[in-house]
Amino acid sequence: MSKLKGLILTEGMHGMISQAEGLAKALDLNFSHEKIELSSFWKFIPPRFTPIKKFVFKNEIEEDFDVIISCGRKSVIPSIFIKKNSKKKIFNIHIQDPKVSLDNFDVVVVPQHDSLIGNNVISTKGAIHYLNIQEINENKNYLSNKIKSEKEIVALILGGPNNYYKYTKTNIENVFLKINENFIKNNFQLIVIPSMRTPKDIIKFANEYYGKDHLVINEVDKRAYLSALGLSKFIVVTCDSSSMISEAAITGKPIYVAGIPTSKDDYRFRKFISLFKKLKIIRVLDSKIENWEYENLDETNRVAKEIKNKF
C-alpha cells in the first residue's frame, strides 16, 4: 500500500517544523513542507477576522494531498482554504489553538496547558516534536571525541529571547552561575547547545565564560543536539521553550529548568511547568541536584495512533 501524501504548512520556525514534521513522520506520510507567506495586509489580521480566500496567502500550492498538517497562526487560513477547495477529501490537522472554529479541522492537537476542549481536540502533555530515541542513540557518539571520558556530562540547551524572557548577559550569567554551583563544582563537564533563537552574542559569552574546559557548540547542529541528549546524565533547558523541554523529556533523564526573570505575565509557561513538575519530569535549577526517574514522554507517537484511528 502506498503512503498517504502529506502537506506541511508552517511559518518556518524550528518549534513549528519540529512539531509538524514529527507528526508527519509518526503518521508515515510522504510529505513536503511549504513555508506560508501571507499577503502584506493579512499578516497583521487575526485568523478569526480573515476571509478564507486565496488572496490571503502568496503560496501557489498545486500538488495533490491526502493530509494537511498546519502549525502556527499564518497557516490556519491556507489549511482551511485548501481543504474546502480540493477536488478530493482532505484530512486536515492543525497543531496549536487555531483561534477559529474547531469545525474547520478534522483534528486539532494542542498542549494540555492551553485548556482547549472539543470533540476533535487531542490534548498533549507538552509539545509534540520530531525527536525519537533511535535517532538519539544513533548520534550519541558524535561528540564523544570532544569531551573528557572520565567526567559525567550535563547538557545545557539554550533557547532565545521572546516576549516573556530577555536574554540579557546578566540573566544568562545567573544561569551559568547555577550550573557552576550544582554541576561544575561536582566534576561535571558541560556541553552547551544553542538553538535557532539563541543570540550570537550569548554563544560568544558562553565561549568566553567556559573557556577550553567545556564544550560550546557554536552553530545549530542537530547531530550535536542529539549527541548531547544521549551523552548527558542531566539536562538543563532554559525556561523559554516548552518545545525544547518536551523534546528533552523523550530521554527519560532528569531535566532541570533554568529560570529567567519574566518581562510580562508568563501564565501559559507556568501552567506547562506545573504540569511537568507533577509528572516528575522536571525540577527547577535552584533546587539541590538529585537523580530521579520517570517514564520517557513520547506524545508524538501516541497522538499519531489516535489520528490513524480517525483516518
- 61-73 per-position pLDDT tens digit: 977 899 999 999 9
pLDDT digits (tens, 9 = 90+) for 91-105: 999 999 999 999 999
Residues of the chain with CATH 3.40.50.2000: 133-284
- Residue 1 has a pLDDT of 55
pLDDT digits (tens, 9 = 90+) for 9-54: 999 888 899 999 999 999 999 999 999 999 999 999 999 999 999 9
- Residue 174 has a pLDDT of 95
pLDDT digits (tens, 9 = 90+) for 203-236: 999 999 998 889 999 999 999 999 999 999 999 9
Class of domain 5-124: alpha beta
Asked if 289 and 267 count as a contact pair (C-beta separation under 8 A), the reply is no
Residue (of 127, 181, 169) closest to 260 by Cα position: 169
- State whether residue 295 is helix, strand or coil: coil
- Residue 150 has a pLDDT of 84
Average pLDDT, the chain: 93
Tell me: pLDDT of 308 over 90.
Answer: yes
DSSP H/E element including 7: strand 5-10
Question: Which strands, in side-by-side order, build the sheet including 282-284?
Answer: 215-216, 188-193, 152-157, 234-238, 255-258, 282-284
Label residue 77 by pLDDT band (50, 70, 90): very high
Label residue 263 by pLDDT band (50, 70, 90): confident
Tell me: pLDDT of 307 over 70.
Answer: yes
Residue (of 244, 264, 206) closest to 129 by Cα position: 244
- Residue 145 has a pLDDT of 92
- Residue 68 has a pLDDT of 97
What is the CATH architecture of 133-284? 3-Layer(aba) Sandwich (3.40)
Residue (of 231, 269, 273, 275) closest to 256 by Cα position: 273
DSSP type of residue 57: B
Q: What is the rounded (10 degree) CA torsion for 276, 282, 287, 292?
A: 130
